[in-house]
Structure 1
Amino acid sequence: MEYMERTYRKLHRQQDLVHFQAVVKETDLDVAVLRTRFNDHLVKWVENLVMEYRCPLEQYIQRHPEFAKTLKPLSPLDGAPAMAVEMAEAAKLAGTGPMAAVAGAFAQYVGKRLLGRSREVIIENGGDIYMRCTKKRKIGIFAGQSPFSNKIALEIPPEQSPLGICTSSGTVGHALSFGTADAVVVLSPSAILADAVATASANMVKDVEDLQKAVDFATSIKGITGALAIKDDKMAVKGQVRIAPL
């Protein structure tokens, strides 16, 4: 599969880390590790990791097709792989279908394994991030045509990581959204939960008056530490969110 550059990825690139792409079917990861921990074999190792998690999930979906189709919470069948179980649990809390958490799930599962090889890790998967840092990091926010887009960043201190930072939008990208938010960003130690909650929160935003409702909903869920919602030139923020110029 030929890799196509995703320009928003420049917003989380770190100069002191090595970034590389790992692409397996629809899973397209941007991976960052310490320069001293990168080697030519790491890309293939990460791709094999993705396959290790994709294959059981694909086989499970063949057995339980509704898991991939429903937009509502769904209990997993007996014998479901661990990733599917975690996705279903997050979806239940958020009120979404399990696949609303799939990008965050792959970012987190691969990221946790990579921590055994690098003490600094950033995994980005379709705008959803799992990271661990040992120094303060800035993660830029892309919010479509909003004037905030590419102008502000989340400032992440090391004590806040490992951390999931997941984004949903009704105006950017191909992911299904029933709202019109330019960006809803949700923070949680679980990227799986953050992904599902970002989807649910973004679905709530039909107009600028809904921004506060979206962040209130997100932060009401146990395990969510912060949320930010943007539409046009308005923004709502709640919880452990530090904003800095990009």
Structure 2
Amino acid sequence: MKEYVERSYRLLHRQHDLVFFQIAVKETDLDIGIPRDKLTAGLVEGVKQEVIHIRSQLEQYIAKDQTFLRTLKPYLPGPGAPEIARVMARSASTAGTGPMSAVAGAIAQHVGVYLAKRCREVIVENGGDIYIRSGQTRKIGVFAGPSPFTNRLALEIEPHRTPIGICTSSGTVGHSLSLGKADAVVILSPSAALADAVATAAGNLVQDENDLQAAVEFAMGINSVTGALAIKNDKLAAAGAVKLAPV
């Protein structure tokens, strides 16, 4: 399975001018791209410690508030909640989902912002949710499981649109909860946490090809969402600042 994931999924966001390294802490599994001259053992260790720190804050809060972990509906965290939990809750509330729908995007963005203070080019991928800051145009391949668009279709991300979150929800790929059957719903937003939550909410709306347009329209109706793409089988719908290109 690991080899399949590497070839069919992570390779779609790899860039030839960047060097990539991985950080894995419990469920958080990051693939991170930065300029080669910025890669040092100290930087890698710093990222790892930042992930441990942010996860620890979230885990300690969840231990005291199980509703935050389990609910699928908007939920306000209690007093003393760490900033990562508040970001997740705000984003999920905007999307109409539970806070954990934003966790992967929120962590990707947190690490991306940490690295952006040190590197001019940053890509952080966390379970299919991506944060990008770049001074050049980037092509990010779309992974849509069994759809014929997989490995054939990419999003072209222009530098003036970054930093940006590119987050994907699927009802046919991966272990993340989806109540829909989309092969992929991809959401673009300056907030990766919001993009993650909206991808979940929009993905929940897709049962078949007839739901694709409604899903992207729902997503585009949410403030700060700049683009939406929904795929089922050999059909797709797109709206907003989505520039498609061949892989």
Name the TM-score, length of structure 2 as normaliser: 0.97
Cα-to-partner distance string for 1:188-236 (whole Å, 9 max, x where unaligned):
0000000000000000000100000000000100010000000000000
Quote the residue 1:108 is aligned against.
109
Distance in 1 between residues matched to 2:72 and 2:151, nearest whole Å: 31
- How far 1:42 sits from its partner (Å)? 2.1
1:179 paired to 2:180: yes
1:37 paired to 2:45: no
Distance in 1 between residues matched to 2:57 and 2:128, nearest whole Å: 24
Quote the residue 2:15 is aligned against.
14
- How far 1:64 sits from its partner (Å)? 0.5
Distance in 2 between residues matched to 1:165 and 1:157, nearest whole Å: 13
Quote the residue 1:94 is aligned against.
95
- How far 1:23 sits from its partner (Å)? 0.6
Distance in 1 between residues matched to 2:63 and 2:147, nearest whole Å: 40
Cα-to-partner distance string for 1:39-93 (whole Å, 9 max, x where unaligned):
1222211110101101110000011011000111111101100010011011111
SS in 2 for 1:41: helix
1:27 paired to 2:42: no
Distance in 2 between residues matched to 1:226 and 1:12, nearest whole Å: 18
SS in 1 for 2:51: helix
Quote the residue 1:195 is aligned against.
196
Quote the residue 1:70 is aligned against.
71
- Percent of counterpart pairs with the same letter? 60
* Matching of residues 79-90 of structure 1 within 5 Å: 79-90=80-91
Quote the residue 2:155 is aligned against.
154
1:227 paired to 2:228: yes
- How far 1:97 sits from its partner (Å)? 0.5
Distance in 1 between residues matched to 2:75 and 2:94, nearest whole Å: 11
Q: How many residues align?
A: 244
**Aligned residue identity for 1:150:** N
* Matching of residues 113-128 of structure 1 within 5 Å: 113-128=114-129
Distance in 1 between residues matched to 2:71 and 2:86, nearest whole Å: 15
- How far 1:25 sits from its partner (Å)? 1.0
Quote the residue 1:170 is aligned against.
171
SS in 2 for 1:102: helix
Distance in 2 between residues matched to 1:218 and 1:34, nearest whole Å: 33
Distance in 2 between residues matched to 1:93 and 1:160, nearest whole Å: 21
Structure 2 alignment gaps of length 5 or more: none
- How far 1:173 sits from its partner (Å)? 0.5
Please say which of residues 131-140 and 35-44 is displaced more in the overlay.
35-44
Cα-to-partner distance string for 1:104-128 (whole Å, 9 max, x where unaligned):
0000001001011101000000000
Cα-to-partner distance string for 1:141-178 (whole Å, 9 max, x where unaligned):
01011111110100001000000000000000011111
Distance in 2 between residues matched to 1:136 and 1:56, nearest whole Å: 35
Quote the residue 2:211 is aligned against.
210
CA RMSD of aligned residues (A): 1.0
**Aligned residue identity for 1:30:** D
**Aligned residue identity for 2:213:** Q
Distance in 2 between residues matched to 1:171 and 1:23, nearest whole Å: 24
